[in-house]
Homo-oligomer: A and B are copies of this chain.
Amino acid sequence: MASTRNIKEFLQAGSRLYLPSVSIDCIIFGFHENHLKVFLVKMKHTNHWGLPGGFILKEEHLDDAANRILKQRTGIDDLFLQQFHVFGHPDRSDKKLHMETMRREGITIDDAHWILQRFITVGYYALVVYSHVRPIPDTLSEDCAWWELDEVPALIMDHNELLQKALQSVRSHLQHHPVGYNLLPARFTMPELQKLYETILGKKLDRRNFQRRMLGYQVLRRLKDTRRGVAHKAPYLYSFDLKKYRKALKEGLKGGW
């Protein structure tokens, strides 16, 4: 959290620093060697895991706040964060959790305290190569880790719901937008690209259909080199045509109306 050194300072300065009622939560999916994981933080002095999140400075753009929070909570910089949903259930906050912290920090519990109010949260997700990231916990968290999706424990508040909705959004986005740049090496084979799709979607895909559709989207460039040192027929190498890739990111893949 921005200029605060510890939890007590953060809790005391919050009403002066942050916009009331709105928070941000980040769902960072990490891909590496055909595994998809999610980045979680462990709240200090508790056994609770949750999503990295935070608040918006009074003069700060919402999207800038998301990037700042991500950087502070994870050490991850310069990541493309995508807004995907706002969660606005009136009972979604967990006052008890915050009251425990206030008690521990010697702060008088007052119903009007800013952290005990209702917060609507804006969800952002991102996909990243997790081996490129060395996350360091910040002052609010005592631990952070990449979790396998099917091993994620019961998280604080509605964070399991946020995670599920983010996963749905990534999969839905994948249906009609390219994915892979920043997640794969600059040159990759078709089976490697297919593995990425299969990992994110959580299901096997047909090899021929995959190749036909992928090539049909015209965002790939087939290179002259083939992959050497493999047992069978050397597979072609591909790279993304970045201009077409970026256009498709914005406008959707070919095949639209």
Contact status A85-B83, CB under 8 Å = yes
Which of B56, B62, B88 is the one whose CB lies under 8 Å from A62? B88
Bound CA–CA A100/B36 (angstroms): 54
Bound CA–CA A47/B77 (angstroms): 45
Contact status B59-A90, CB under 8 Å = yes
Q: Which residues of chain B are near A56, meaning CB under 8 Å? A: 88, 120
Interface size (A, Cβ < 8 Å)? 35
How many Å from the CB of A118 to the closest CB on chain B? 7
Contact status A257-B174, CB under 8 Å = yes
Contact status B118-A89, CB under 8 Å = no
Q: Residue of B at shortest CB range from A63? A: B88
Which of B58, B205, B210 is the one whose CB lies under 8 Å from A118? B58
Interface string of A180-224 (1 = CB under 8 A from B): 000000000000000001000100010000100100000000000
Besides A56-B120, A65-B88, 18 more A-B contacts (Cβ < 8 Å) are: A19-B118, A21-B22, A22-B22, A22-B120, A60-B90, A61-B88, A61-B89, A62-B87, A62-B89, A62-B120, A88-B122, A175-B252, A175-B256, A175-B257, A197-B257, A205-B257, A210-B257, A255-B255
